[in-house]
């Protein structure tokens, strides 16, 4: 007799991140539910942590406490060497509190306008956290990163956020120019999810 899939709350309101998580975990017996589906009236979590881990923990604990479900959260962003690691945890708000992707991309290009091509190194980083509210275990934390550099103009129509500007070192193309399978193989979120698989599989086996 087959088991019911594990119901997993993805503690994000970002539709792009939700779609990527569902794709990355599609081969596991997991039903990924969104915040909109499980907690439509819950107030947004104030992401005021100093690090990606701080923010991921804030989101995973709030989601697990409010829903009672096994919860997966992540916090991620872009670190640019020439900007001393900015935008970092403020990646979604680089151009302002309610900035659009286009506004953030424009702000990044403006900040790097005078930076030569060989000094535009950058990376995407993701910290992912898994928490089972019915267990006394500590949250499981994994991390992923993807190295590359910032281009001079947006290229590609896929992805979201800074994907059109971030040239992936492994491919020499922007993240927005990659297909889903290519992106999942090298992305920061893909690497963090791959590292999380053993914890998810162990949790599934215990249920």
The predicted-structure confidence for 117-156, as pLDDT tens digits, reads as follows: 999 999 999 999 999 999 878 999 999 999 999 999 999 9
Topology of domain 6-206, per CATH? Maf protein (3.90.950)
Better pLDDT: 207 or 38: 38
Q: Are 108 and 47 in contact (CB under 8 A)?
A: no
Above pLDDT 90, what percent of the chain?
A: 88
State the CB neighbour count (10 A cutoff) for residue 133.
16
Residue 52 has pLDDT above 50, yes or no: yes
Residue 123 CA neighbour count, 13 Å, CB half: 13
Residue 2 has pLDDT above 60, yes or no: no
Q: Are 78 and 91 in contact (CB under 8 A)?
A: yes
Say if residue 87 is preceded by a cis peptide, omega within 30 of 0: yes
Residues annotated as catalytic (active site), given as ranges: 75
Mean pLDDT of the chain: 94
Mean pLDDT computed over 53-80: 97
Residue 1 is predicted with a pLDDT of 39
State the CB neighbour count (10 A cutoff) for residue 70.
23
Residue 29 is predicted with a pLDDT of 95
Sorted by where each begins, the domain ranges of the chain are 6-206
């Amino acid at each position: 007799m087959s088991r019911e899939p594990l119901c997993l709350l993805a503690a994000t309101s970002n539709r792009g991140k939700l779609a990527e998580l569902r794709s990355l975990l599609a081969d596991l017996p997991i039903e990924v539910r969104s915040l909109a589906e499980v907690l439509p009236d819950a107030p947004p979590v104030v992401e005021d942590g100093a690090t990606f881990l701080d923010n991921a923990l804030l989101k995973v604990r709030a989601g697990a406490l409010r829903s009672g479900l096994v919860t997966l959260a992540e916090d991620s962003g872009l670190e640019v060497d020439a900007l001393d690691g900015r935008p970092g945890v403020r990646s979604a708000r680089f151009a302002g509190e309610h900035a659009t992707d286009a506004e953030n991309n424009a702000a990044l290009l403006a900040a790097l306008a005078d930076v030569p091509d060989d000094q535009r190194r950058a990376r995407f980083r993701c910290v992912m956290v898994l928490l089972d509210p019915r267990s006394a275990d500590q949250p499981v934390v994994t991390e992923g990163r993807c190295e590359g550099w910032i281009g001079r103009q947006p290229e590609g129509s896929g992805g979201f956020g800074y994907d059109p500007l971030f040239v992936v070192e492994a491919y020499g193309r922007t993240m927005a120019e990659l297909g889903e399978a290519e992106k999942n193989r090298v992305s920061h979120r893909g690497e963090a999810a791959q590292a999380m698989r053993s914890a998810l599989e162990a949790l599934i086996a215990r249920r």
